[in-house]
Amino acid sequence: MTLFAAAFAVNPVKIYRGTSTYYSDVICNIKNGKVYKGNSSYNSDVLCTIVGNKVYKINSSNKSDVLYTIREGKVYAGNSLYESDVVMSIRDGKVYRGLSKYNNDVLATVVDGYVYSGNSTYTSDRLYRIDGDLTLEEFVAVWYVFFYVY
Protein backbone atom coordinates (compact mmCIF):
# COMPACT_ATOMS: atom_id res chain seq x y z
CA MET A 1 0.00 0.00 0.00
CA THR A 2 1.42 3.33 -0.99
CA LEU A 3 0.42 6.01 1.44
CA PHE A 4 2.53 8.78 0.03
CA ALA A 5 1.42 10.81 -2.94
CA ALA A 6 1.36 14.35 -4.16
CA ALA A 7 -1.14 16.43 -2.22
CA PHE A 8 -2.89 17.63 -5.36
CA ALA A 9 -2.98 15.02 -8.06
CA VAL A 10 -4.08 15.91 -11.60
CA ASN A 11 -6.24 12.79 -12.03
CA PRO A 12 -8.58 11.62 -9.31
CA VAL A 13 -7.83 8.42 -7.41
CA LYS A 14 -10.88 6.17 -7.69
CA ILE A 15 -12.12 3.71 -5.09
CA TYR A 16 -14.00 0.69 -6.47
CA ARG A 17 -16.30 -1.75 -4.69
CA GLY A 18 -14.68 -5.16 -4.06
CA THR A 19 -12.64 -6.32 -7.04
CA SER A 20 -14.54 -4.30 -9.65
CA THR A 21 -13.11 -1.83 -12.14
CA TYR A 22 -16.49 -0.84 -13.60
CA TYR A 23 -17.42 2.83 -13.82
CA SER A 24 -20.71 2.07 -12.06
CA ASP A 25 -18.86 0.51 -9.10
CA VAL A 26 -16.85 3.61 -8.16
CA ILE A 27 -17.66 4.34 -4.51
CA CYS A 28 -15.83 7.65 -4.42
CA ASN A 29 -12.93 9.55 -5.94
CA ILE A 30 -10.34 11.85 -4.42
CA LYS A 31 -9.04 14.98 -6.07
CA ASN A 32 -7.45 18.13 -4.66
CA GLY A 33 -8.10 17.21 -1.03
CA LYS A 34 -11.77 16.39 -1.48
CA VAL A 35 -13.56 13.04 -1.53
CA TYR A 36 -16.46 13.03 -3.98
CA LYS A 37 -19.40 10.64 -4.27
CA GLY A 38 -18.96 8.12 -7.10
CA ASN A 39 -17.41 9.66 -10.21
CA SER A 40 -18.67 13.15 -9.45
CA SER A 41 -16.57 16.30 -9.19
CA TYR A 42 -19.40 18.62 -8.11
CA ASN A 43 -19.09 20.58 -4.87
CA SER A 44 -22.54 19.35 -3.87
CA ASP A 45 -21.17 15.77 -3.94
CA VAL A 46 -18.21 16.33 -1.58
CA LEU A 47 -18.36 13.68 1.17
CA CYS A 48 -15.37 14.92 3.18
CA THR A 49 -12.37 17.23 2.88
CA ILE A 50 -8.71 16.69 3.75
CA VAL A 51 -6.68 19.66 4.95
CA GLY A 52 -3.23 18.98 6.39
CA ASN A 53 -3.51 16.12 8.86
CA LYS A 54 -7.26 16.46 9.39
CA VAL A 55 -10.36 15.01 7.74
CA TYR A 56 -13.43 17.27 7.83
CA LYS A 57 -17.15 16.72 7.30
CA ILE A 58 -18.44 17.41 3.80
CA ASN A 59 -16.99 20.53 2.17
CA SER A 60 -15.88 22.14 5.44
CA SER A 61 -12.62 23.15 7.05
CA ASN A 62 -14.17 24.49 10.26
CA LYS A 63 -12.62 23.35 13.53
CA SER A 64 -16.00 22.11 14.72
CA ASP A 65 -16.30 19.81 11.66
CA VAL A 66 -13.11 17.77 12.18
CA LEU A 67 -13.85 14.05 11.94
CA TYR A 68 -10.29 12.78 12.43
CA THR A 69 -6.80 14.03 13.18
CA ILE A 70 -3.98 11.85 11.88
CA ARG A 71 -0.55 11.86 13.48
CA GLU A 72 2.28 9.31 13.28
CA GLY A 73 -0.01 6.54 12.04
CA LYS A 74 -2.60 7.12 14.76
CA VAL A 75 -6.11 8.27 13.91
CA TYR A 76 -7.71 10.38 16.64
CA ALA A 77 -11.40 11.27 16.96
CA GLY A 78 -12.07 14.91 16.10
CA ASN A 79 -9.40 17.44 17.13
CA SER A 80 -8.10 15.31 19.97
CA LEU A 81 -4.51 14.14 20.36
CA TYR A 82 -5.19 12.14 23.52
CA GLU A 83 -4.19 8.47 23.37
CA SER A 84 -7.62 7.57 24.78
CA ASP A 85 -9.19 9.05 21.62
CA VAL A 86 -7.24 6.91 19.11
CA VAL A 87 -9.89 5.11 17.06
CA MET A 88 -7.42 3.18 14.91
CA SER A 89 -3.75 2.97 14.09
CA ILE A 90 -2.23 2.18 10.72
CA ARG A 91 1.13 0.48 10.26
CA ASP A 92 2.76 -2.13 8.05
CA GLY A 93 -0.26 -2.43 5.75
CA LYS A 94 -2.68 -3.13 8.61
CA VAL A 95 -5.42 -1.08 10.25
CA TYR A 96 -5.69 -1.86 13.97
CA ARG A 97 -8.46 -1.08 16.44
CA GLY A 98 -7.28 1.76 18.71
CA LEU A 99 -3.65 1.39 19.81
CA SER A 100 -3.68 -2.40 19.65
CA LYS A 101 -0.87 -4.43 18.08
CA TYR A 102 -2.67 -7.79 18.30
CA ASN A 103 -3.71 -9.82 15.26
CA ASN A 104 -7.24 -10.24 16.61
CA ASP A 105 -7.61 -6.42 16.55
CA VAL A 106 -6.78 -6.04 12.84
CA LEU A 107 -9.69 -4.23 11.20
CA ALA A 108 -8.26 -4.38 7.67
CA THR A 109 -5.26 -5.47 5.65
CA VAL A 110 -4.03 -3.49 2.64
CA VAL A 111 -2.12 -5.30 -0.11
CA ASP A 112 -1.47 -4.13 -3.69
CA GLY A 113 -4.25 -1.53 -3.62
CA TYR A 114 -6.88 -3.88 -2.19
CA VAL A 115 -8.38 -3.40 1.27
CA TYR A 116 -9.39 -6.68 2.88
CA SER A 117 -11.59 -7.30 5.88
CA GLY A 118 -9.66 -8.13 9.06
CA ASN A 119 -6.42 -10.08 8.77
CA SER A 120 -7.50 -11.76 5.54
CA THR A 121 -6.10 -11.55 2.02
CA TYR A 122 -8.73 -13.79 0.41
CA THR A 123 -10.40 -12.45 -2.72
CA SER A 124 -13.82 -12.95 -1.13
CA ASP A 125 -12.80 -10.61 1.72
CA ARG A 126 -11.94 -7.62 -0.48
CA LEU A 127 -13.83 -4.56 0.70
CA TYR A 128 -12.61 -2.07 -1.88
CA ARG A 129 -9.88 -1.37 -4.40
CA ILE A 130 -7.75 1.78 -4.51
CA ASP A 131 -6.83 2.78 -8.06
CA GLY A 132 -3.84 5.03 -7.38
CA ASP A 133 -1.72 6.30 -4.52
CA LEU A 134 -3.19 7.81 -1.37
CA THR A 135 -1.69 9.75 1.49
CA LEU A 136 -2.44 8.40 4.95
CA GLU A 137 -4.98 11.19 5.43
CA GLU A 138 -6.71 10.32 2.16
CA PHE A 139 -6.81 6.66 3.18
CA VAL A 140 -8.54 7.62 6.44
CA ALA A 141 -11.04 9.78 4.52
CA VAL A 142 -11.85 6.84 2.22
CA TRP A 143 -12.20 4.58 5.25
CA TYR A 144 -14.71 7.03 6.72
CA VAL A 145 -16.68 7.19 3.47
CA PHE A 146 -16.75 3.41 3.04
CA PHE A 147 -17.84 2.59 6.58
CA TYR A 148 -19.93 5.60 7.57
CA VAL A 149 -21.29 7.22 4.41
CA TYR A 150 -21.44 4.58 1.67
pLDDT per residue as tens digits for the range 10-20: 689 999 999 99
- From residue 50, how far is each of 32, 56, 118, 120, 128 by CA, in Å? 9, 6, 25, 29, 20
Least confident of 5-14, 105-114, 116-125: 5-14
pLDDT computed for residue 2 by the predictor: 47
Q: Is 120 inside any structural domain? A: yes
pLDDT computed for residue 11 by the predictor: 87
The number of distinct structural domains making up the chain is: 1
- Hey, which bits of the chain come out as E strands? 13-17, 26-31, 34-37, 46-51, 54-57, 66-71, 74-77, 86-91, 94-97, 106-111, 114-117, 126-131
The CATH number of residue 120's host domain is 2.40.160
Q: Is 5 inside any structural domain? A: no
